[in-house]
Amino acid sequence: MESPSWSSRFKLVVGVIVFVLFCLLLYAARAVLPPIIIGVIIGYIFYPYARFIKYSTALPHRPATAILYLLLLAIIIPIVLALLPVISEQVVLVRDEILALLEQVNSISPEQTFELFGVQFVTEQVVQQVINTLIEVVRDLAGNAVNLVLNAAQVVLLIVITLIIGFYMTRDGDRFIAAVEDLIPDDTRGDIELLLAQIDNVWATFFRSNLLLAILVGTIVTALSAAIGLPRPLLMGILAGVLEFIPTIGHVIWLAAAVIIAGIEGSDVLAVSNTVFMVIVVVASLAYTQLDTRVLIPALIGDRDRLHPVVVIIGLLVGWALAGLLGLVLAAPTISSLELIGKYIRARLMDRNPFSEPAEPTEAV
């Protein structure tokens, strides 16, 4: 006997219940989400390379994936073992220097008042609140980084778990794609597949192109920092590479950190005062920013300034509040993906064809 079909209302109720349960599950598992998310990202990034090995060598997909990850391990393990102690030491030194400077500024802020929208503010109180907030942020960020570096067992465990998840995502990518496609209703399959293709283009551009961009920028900034004598050039290069994933404010954050270090320690190479060296660092940073925005980004990514900077900054703040550093890094492609989804929904609500015009390549901001 064939069971009766579910009514539209019952399907809606079941869908809402499943969605709520899924959100509750994510909330309950929020502590373990970062390695899972990073593992999924790794699988997403390297899935095309596994397919390339597969078609280049005529090997099945699973052996091709195994070869790819063995090569990655052979490259990553020596680099991690060599860089972890160096990065740990430099993070501690930079943290202590920044905290010392902030506390010094906090102790000498003058007693002045200013009026804003009819409200009187005491300069010292405002400065102290800002400085105290910055001190807590620096302590939290650097403290977590140092603890993670020093706790070797935790580092190894997180790396192993993340790589295992990434391996299976790369190996079984076709299955996951097929499982998602099976969830799409037949009457909307064409639209959803086009929308998912646009979203996939956003994330593919963000990760694969930005990864190459981060490596190039990190190398350039490391060499530039060493040339002008900026202390800890390797750490500054790594920081510049990581900040390439944070649009709009990434360069500002790097410049602020570099100027603080230049003002405290001066140059290891140039025989100039700390003040003059700070000016040199600003000029060098502006030159590198021009190279990055006018040459490297257009060549590797294209136009990633489609969204208004205010929208990007708000997205970065929300990402930081929801998921910390990981949310900050993933804010840009998430904003672009939500923009595509919003345009699709708006077109459907207004009975328009969301794909009536030829779609231009959609880049992450």
Q: Kindly report, residue by residue over 78-108, the tens digit of the pLDDT.
A: 887 777 777 667 666 666 666 666 565 555 5
- Does 225 have pLDDT greater than 50? yes
Token pair for residue 273?
């005062």
The pLDDT-based confidence of 114 (bands split at 50, 70, 90) is very low
Q: Between these two residues, 363 and 24, which has the higher pLDDT value?
A: 24
pLDDT at residue 116, as a whole number: 43
> Rounded mean pLDDT of the chain?
79
pLDDT over 90 percentage in the chain: 12
- Kindly report the length of the chain: 365
Most confident option among 16-20, 34-38, 182-186, 296-300: 16-20
Closest to 193 measured CA to CA, from 174, 207, 205, 180:
180
pLDDT over 80 (residue 140): no
Phi (first) and psi of residue 113, to 5 degrees:
-125, 155
Q: Residues 218, 237: contact at Cβ < 8 Å? A: yes
Which pLDDT belongs to residue 319? 85
| Residue 5, pLDDT score | 77
SS3 readout for 32-101: HHHHHHHHHHHHHHHHHHHHHHHHHHCCCHHHHHHHHHHHHHHHHHHHHHHHHHHHHHHHHHHHHHHHHH
- Residue 147: pLDDT above 80? no
Neighbours of 150 (CB within 10 A): 13
pLDDT, tens only, 19-71: 899 889 888 887 778 888 888 888 988 988 898 999 888 889 889 999 999 99
Q: Is the pLDDT of residue 361 over 50?
A: no
Helix then strand then coil, in percent of the chain rounded to 5, is: 80, 0, 20
Q: Report the C-alpha gap between 241 and 211 in whole angstroms.
A: 9
| E strand spans, 195-294 | none
* pLDDT tens per residue, range 250-283: 888 899 888 888 888 888 888 888 889 999 999 9
The helix (run of H) or strand (run of E) holding residue 114 is strand 113-116
Asked if residues 165 and 36 have their Cβ atoms less than 8 Å apart, the reply is yes
Q: State the average pLDDT over residues 230-246.
A: 87
Task: Please report which residue ranges of 151-209 form alpha helices under DSSP H.
Answer: 152-171, 173-182, 189-204
Residue 334 has pLDDT above 70, yes or no: yes
Whether 315 contacts 331, CB under 8 Å: yes
Read off the amino acid at residue 291. L
What whole-number percentage of the chain has pLDDT above 70? 76
Q: Residues with Cβ < 8 Å from 56, sequence gap 6 or more?
A: none
Low-confidence winner among 37-41, 197-201, 206-210 (lowest mean pLDDT): 206-210
At residue 190, does pLDDT exceed 70? yes
Q: What is the pLDDT of residues 122-131, one digit of tens each?
A: 445 545 555 5
Amino acid at 175: R
Specify the pLDDT at position 161. 86
